[in-house]
Amino acid sequence: MSNPPPTSESVETHQNDVGSGGNDKRPLGLLSATTIVAASMIGAGVYTTSGFTLGDLGDPFWVVVAWMVAGMIAICGAICYGALASEFADSGGEYLFLSKALHPVAGLMAGWVSLLAGFTGAIAFAATTFAEYLSPEAEIFQAKGIAIALVAAAAILHSIGVRTGARVQDLAVVLKVLLIGVFISVAAWHEWPRSIVAAVAVNPEEPESGTYQFALAFATSLMWISLSYSGFNAAVYVAGEVENPRRNVPRALLLGTIGVTVIYVLLNAIFVYAPRAEDIKFNPQIAAVAAKAIGGEWFERFVRVVILFGLFTSVSALVMTGPRVYAKMAEDGFLPRVFRFQGRVPVVAIWIQAILAMIVISFSTLKDLLGYLGFTLSVSAALTAGLVFWLHGRDTSRVHVKLFPLPPIVFVGGTLLTATLSAISSPWQAMVGLGTIGFGLLFYPWYRMRHST
């Protein structure tokens, strides 16, 4: 017979014990929590998405606008998630929030979204992009082998321990941001009139397909771009291992998301304005093409190094955070006990996560993953952030959102509207995404049966 879900007292005990080895010093500070957010966000999407987006929207101006709109939505999402983290200051993310605030079955559904899409699919997407940028001429089987090796390396790193993995992660993220800064500076020096000023000042062309068709294309582009922003909530998955989580997790979410939004807008203005549009439409290696247009082959090689660092830290962050969700689900009886923490690290969960990602790498393509993950993760995040409407201002709740109700309206409303329009444009991907969200329902009777015996 499994133990019942933990009480608030046991949750606090778990927070003090998990990741700290029984002492009061938790392994992750504000810097580490913020770098986890940045590492989870700056991954495959920003280096691949705008080629597909430009192909659909036709004008670089609208591509930059789409990145700005998605950034504002993500910032509002970070505010909502930060408010929820102040109430539920433990690891687990959407699973924890929905289980505690709504119903265990809602948490179970969110947990399975994390397992099937949020981490498994995202790791596969980032690792596959890593292989494409590392060896663009490689055969498909060789590229998949590189991606699988990267996932295995990340799993080994985070099986060693929380502090070791976090320190490597911090250094890699700082280096990644510095390298991105160098790229933006060089691009601005060579391409300022065409990359930055043009993105703001050029009058956009009228869409050829009509307003309604353009709205559907814009929504689909936002759905793809939303995958690049989906890591804004990463710190909530390791909240139980963060020092003073009620203060530091909300700060990490907001600081990380604002900083990455600025980087994204600058990067994509460069990506879509520096090269010729014909060279980058529907091209998943848009960043490399833009770099070559700016500084020639040497600069393209430099940018590939920047991208590889970014993708490594992205895979590393996802391999680190995802298993914490499964460990929490196992603690509550939703998954077998083997998923739980073994000392400071959920080693078995890390390797199950890695193996699932390797399987997805073997059978998927970048574009398939892009649409599926964007829709599934956006809808799951919107449903979670909607809890703010339910909890805000209650006497028994710590959930208080600045500028309420504007942030949840922007995030939940904007995300669901975009998802609806995207579903009209790509119904098959929407059906698969909704199937993933509902998959957890199949396991709830098993959970009830275990707890009734």
Query: What pLDDT sits at residue 15?
Result: 40
Query: What pLDDT sits at residue 20?
Result: 38
* Complete DSSP assignment for 144-171: HHHHHHHHHHHHHHHHH-HHHHHHHHHH
Query: What pLDDT sits at residue 227?
Result: 80
Distance, CA of 341 to CA of 323 (rounded, Å): 9
Count CB neighbours of 297 within 10 A: 9
Distance, CA of 379 to CA of 369 (rounded, Å): 16
Burial string for 152-171 (b: 16+ CB within 10 Å, else e) reads: bebbebbbebbeebbebbbe
Query: What pLDDT sits at residue 75?
Result: 96
Query: What pLDDT sits at residue 446?
Result: 66
CB within 8 A of 399, min separation 6: which ones? 83, 84, 86, 87, 387, 388, 391, 392, 393
Query: What pLDDT sits at residue 2?
Result: 37
Three-state DSSP at 209 gives coil
Cα 165 to chain centroid distance, Å, stands at 19
CB within 8 A of 197, min separation 6: which ones? none
Phi, psi (5° rounding) for residue 345?
-130, 135
The answer to whether 290 and 274 are in contact (CB under 8 A) is yes
Q: What is the pTM of this model?
A: 0.78
Query: What pLDDT sits at residue 191?
Result: 55
- Interaxial angle between packed helices 30-41 and 286-331, expressed in degrees from 0 to 180 and rounded to the nearest 10: 120
Tens of pLDDT, residue by residue over 174-199, are 777 888 888 888 887 775 445 455 44
The answer to whether 127 and 149 are in contact (CB under 8 A) is no
Query: What pLDDT sits at residue 452?
Result: 60
Query: What pLDDT sits at residue 68?
Result: 95
Question: Which residues of the chain carry a pLDDT beneath 70?
Answer: 1-27, 161-169, 191-210, 342-343, 366-368, 370-371, 393, 395-396, 443-444, 446-453
Distance, CA of 98 to CA of 388 (rounded, Å): 11
Distance, CA of 256 to CA of 232 (rounded, Å): 7
Query: What pLDDT sits at residue 18?
Result: 40
Cα Rg, the chain, nearest whole Å:
21
Q: 28 - beta bridge partners?
A: 242
Query: What pLDDT sits at residue 165?
Result: 58
Query: What pLDDT sits at residue 423?
Result: 83
Locate 108 and state its tokens.
């179970």
Locate 28 and state its tokens.
């992750």
**Domains of the chain (ranges, CATH numbers):** 16-448 (1.20.1740.10)
The answer to whether 105 and 253 are in contact (CB under 8 A) is no
Query: What pLDDT sits at residue 65?
Result: 92
Locate 126 and state its tokens.
């980032």
Query: What pLDDT sits at residue 195?
Result: 47
Query: What pLDDT sits at residue 40?
Result: 77
Angle at 292 between CA 290 and CA 297, to 5 degrees: 160
> How many residues are given for the chain?
453
